[in-house]
Amino acid sequence: MSTLKGMLLAGLASSALIASAAQAQDSASPKLDGANNSVGEVDAIVVTGSRIARPELESAMPVNVTKFDDVARVGRLNAYDALRLEPSIAPGAGAYSADFYDGTGDAGNAGAAFINLRNMGTNRSLTLIDGKRRVSGTAAASAVDINMIPSAMIDRIEVVTGGAAAIYGADAVTGAVNIITKKDLEGLYVTAYQGISQHGDAPETNVSLAAGGKFADGRGSFTLGGTYLQTGAVQEHERDFSRKNIVYWGNPNNTGVNDGIPDNIVVRDLLLFYNSDVPEFYNPKNGGYYHYYNGQLTRDYYNTPLGAGETARGNGTSNPAVVRSWNWYAPLRLSEKTFSTIAKFDYELTDAIKYGARLDYGRTVSGGLVTRYREDSRTLFAGGNGGAKAYPDNPYMPDSVRNLLASDGLSYVNIDRWYTNWPVVEMPHDRESVTVSQNLSGKIGGSLSWEAYYQYGRATDDAAVTNAPLTSRWVAARDVIADPVTGAPVCRDPAARAAGCTPYNIFGNDPLTAAQKAWLLTDLHSRSINEQQIFGADLSGKLFHLPAGDVSFAAGVEHRTESGRLTVDPRVANAQVPLSGFVSSIQTVPVDASMSVTEGYGELVVPIIKDKPFLRHLELEGAYRYSDYRTMGSTGTWKAGGTWEPVGGLTIRGVRSRSVRVPNFGELYAPTSQGFTGSINDPCLSGNYNLTPTRAANCQALGVPNNLAFYSTDVLVKSGGNIDLKPEVSDSFTVGAVIQPRFIPGLDVTIDFWNIRIVNAITSFSINDMMNQCVDLPTINNQFCQYVQRGADHKINFISTQLVNAAEMRTDGIDFGIGYRLPLWNGQLGATFKGSYLLSREIQNVPGVQAAQIKYDGSYTDPRFRGYLLVEYSTNHYDFTVGTQYTSSATVDPNAIPGQYDNNYIPAVVYNDISLARRFDSGLEMTFGVKNLFNVTPPLMPNVYNGGGGRYDTIGRYFFTRVGMKF
């Protein structure tokens, strides 16, 4: 790998590939995206990564630009959809990364969309709107909810790689995403979009309006735009590829280490009889499972049993009609309804002073998870009571079941089931965000610009869980006897009867009666409020003139306060509702925290030489920011870089930066919650005991014998913030080349190497990582074993996944692409390619210890290569657009050793989108398009068959139309 890296770095000055340039298309008929800059224009603008105005491609930091209207032509509806096409950006959190059932999603973030640059965490990816920070959209992090930005107002999206903390402050560790909105509009623009999948589901509706104009003889202007967006949900059982649960399972034929037999095999239809839609129970007398349905008692069999006992699994079943995949009700995409708007007002008070005001508002109502209540015999259900028990004196018990209990001498059986006859459990989120700002700006002389501003932002999230059973009432209602006098079914508990307990038939499938609903079910609520205030002032311009050009600077001060409050439902905090019966988005611990920081920054750009042999232009730049936190003390961040143009059309650029990120109040004070998980892959199981060189000795040191069999008992998992977190320090480095050969007009080429290293990285580890690191390091005297506890039976009963400071996180790679435009026939052909090749990404928990390294590069979460090609051919009246997205082959587990899996390979995928637009002289534009033209489905492998957290398309071939009008 080091040889490859050296070759790539050595070729920076002479190799080339990227994409930044705008794809301006001249046309006799007006386009709905307004006027684009022509190729020859080099207007000075403030691009992301700097506060000094200059042409886009002259920036020392790599800046990748996406015109929103370009990706809108291939059916991208909002900023999150557009950024999912960016090779440098991972899915983050959004409607498609919502598989909360397998632990890859976060139910608390339903309805929001967060950026994850370089897949290094949403907290390290700063999101800006027109160069300004925004209030966080979640109680647990500092991430900005980009669902709140109306697509009607998005002009372009700029992504800068590398540490930008010296310019923007903390959170810009991996870079920044700046969403630039439209301004100076004149007239009215209206667009409407409608889409549907080939399955007839997943509908999408988007209606956008934007308008603007001037008044007072041009001294004043306004811009107003809004978007309504509605998307429909899709669940896993609605697609063939995700209907069956695909997992790894210990190979029953495995005989030991280095036997040439895979330790784990892919099971393609994992089922659990205790996951049935109808009453199911285990008979310990004969080891059999039975279900009761339509008056019949039937014994169930797995096609291939995987273990034995009450919690045994199997691959396939003889009765698929009543046993469903665990993920049956899990979402492939959540439903959302969003309304967002931006209003801007500017007025020239004098020739030298301008006043500006702005209002941003957004509201998203997400259906969240939609599921059913379920339970089985494990004590993680019903507040430690486990699932329902059926006794022979229960009058609802069918005779066939009672006779079986009598013949086998059983006093009761545990009833395991989904209660599909109950009202659905919904977990909606109602999110609202408002930001208001005012500013004064102006000129001092002809070379200095100033601005003073105030901004207030507030984001709320009202979350709920509907139709949740009350623990004590449910436990009483399901335990039924016959009234001694009347013989009618009544609740066994006399106190519950006196309180109005309504008995429930655990063997039935009839809908709940009104009386049963009133007794059993309730709705839960929580509310989070995040607030932010920013006072700031900036001064920028030219200091003085040197022979090579003007020395430019920017300086400013800013004071920022942020607070977060979370109120919870007291019935959750008091365990009156069994949240373990479903995946919940309701928090259990209240939060009330705040933090503030005062900062000052300075940036300088100095031209050194120009118009000399091999020194056509040489420029250096630097920036420094001082931050004084109320609770964390002071920090300093910096960047230094430059650009060198040896000959016309070739520019070498590079930046080195230091960032210090203090933990945000979400990381410090996020609710510490505890919940149960019922199934883990203990590294000390007999089949896993010898997988690594140190595991057997460490398992033995923990007192675990080498014959520990698979178990599915209750494991308490603790997660949340950590008030003992320390700041993390990051060093980043980028170096690259920009090539604009004069002998090929219209061609722009760039290539940039980037490297990011974070010390004391704030992170949380998965359950598997916590367990494995405990026994795979040289000894058990490590930072992980303290978070993994075992009982007297040697089984794990507690794991903490709270945020911690890891030793080191590092990643590096190369971004490249090509932008090209040329006249062709009676139109113009434009193509933009963007690509990102990942060289490495890993976490090193103990310096110098190989076993302490967790590798991510090459996995499905961090594939080696991602690329996107957009090709458009335009004439006076037609646009034909093709978008192609490529993700390289990958592995499920990048840390696997030979023989660990029978198949660890995920094939590459290619998605194609096409559209054809017709423009009319009247200003009308009509578009028809298809997303995922060839209906490419996710690879049928564990962790990715249901989308891999939003990395693979799960909707399928999708048809859409778009109609727009300019007035």
Three-state DSSP string of 568-624: CCHHHHCCCCCHHHCCCCCCCCCEEEEEEEEEEEEEEEEEEEEEECCEEEEEEEEEE
| Average confidence score pLDDT of the chain | 88
- pLDDT confidence bin for 8, thresholds 50/70/90: very low
User: Distance (Å, rounded) from C-alpha 149 to C-alpha 186?
Assistant: 20
Assess contact for 831 and 824: CB atoms under 8 A: no
CA torsion, points 159, 160, 165, 171, in degrees to nearest 10? 30
- pLDDT confidence bin for 163, thresholds 50/70/90: low
Higher pLDDT, 173 or 654: 654
User: Distance (Å, rounded) from C-alpha 746 to C-alpha 23?
Assistant: 10
**Is 23 a residue whose pLDDT tops 70?**
no
Per-residue pLDDT, 104: 39
- pLDDT confidence bin for 171, thresholds 50/70/90: confident
Q: How many CB atoms sit inside 10 A of residue 471's CB?
A: 21
- Per-residue pLDDT of 820-840, as tens digits, reads 999 998 899 999 999 999 999
Rounded mean pLDDT of 355-374?
92
Assess contact for 664 and 171: CB atoms under 8 A: yes
Assess contact for 138 and 117: CB atoms under 8 A: no
How far is the first Cα of the chain from the last one, in angstroms, to the nearest whole number?
A: 57
**Is 43 a residue whose pLDDT tops 60?**
no
Find the range with the poorest average confidence among 228-237, 270-279, 469-478, 877-886.
270-279
Of residues 397, 432, 431, the one with CA closest to residue 504: 397
- Please state the φ and ψ torsions of residue 439, each to the nearest 5 degrees: -150, 155
Q: Report the percentage of the chain scoring pLDDT > 90.
A: 65
- Per-residue pLDDT of 718-764, as tens digits, reads 877 888 888 999 999 999 999 999 899 999 999 999 999 999 888 88
- Per-residue pLDDT of 866-893, as tens digits, reads 999 999 999 999 999 999 999 999 999 9
Assess contact for 798 and 380: CB atoms under 8 A: no
- Residues in contact with 672: Cβ distance below 8 Å, sequence separation at least 6, in sequence order: 589, 718, 719, 720, 721, 802
Per-residue pLDDT, 419: 93
pTM of the model: 0.88
Q: DSSP letter for 922, please.
A: T
- Per-residue pLDDT of 99-151, as tens digits, reads 444 343 456 788 899 989 999 988 888 899 999 999 998 876 778 999 999 99
Of residues 280, 334, 335, 340, the one with CA closest to residue 310: 280
Structural domains of the chain, ranges and CATH numbers in brackets: 46-238+332-370+427-465+526-678+713-764+801-966 (2.40.170.20)
Higher pLDDT, 418 or 584: 418
Higher pLDDT, 248 or 22: 248
Rounded mean pLDDT of 235-254?
91
Higher pLDDT, 214 or 846: 214
Of residues 387, 424, 401, the one with CA closest to residue 511: 424
Per-residue pLDDT, 92: 83
Of residues 12, 55, 8, 3, the one with CA closest to residue 619: 55
Assess contact for 426 and 235: CB atoms under 8 A: no
- pLDDT confidence bin for 54, thresholds 50/70/90: low
Find the range with the poorest average confidence among 473-487, 794-808, 910-924.
794-808
Which conformational region is residue 328 in: left (phi greater than 0), alpha (psi within -120 to 50 degrees), or beta?
alpha
Per-residue pLDDT, 413: 96
- Per-residue pLDDT of 461-506, as tens digits, reads 999 989 999 999 999 999 999 999 999 999 999 999 999 999 999 9
Q: Residues, the chain, total?
A: 967
**Is 15 a residue whose pLDDT tops 70?**
no
**Is 155 a residue whose pLDDT tops 70?**
yes
**Is 20 a residue whose pLDDT tops 60?**
no
**Is 305 a residue whose pLDDT tops 70?**
yes
- Please state the φ and ψ torsions of residue 676, each to the nearest 5 degrees: -105, 140
**Is 4 a residue whose pLDDT tops 70?**
no
Find the range with the poorest average confidence among 12-16, 244-248, 317-321, 467-471.
12-16
Per-residue pLDDT, 124: 87
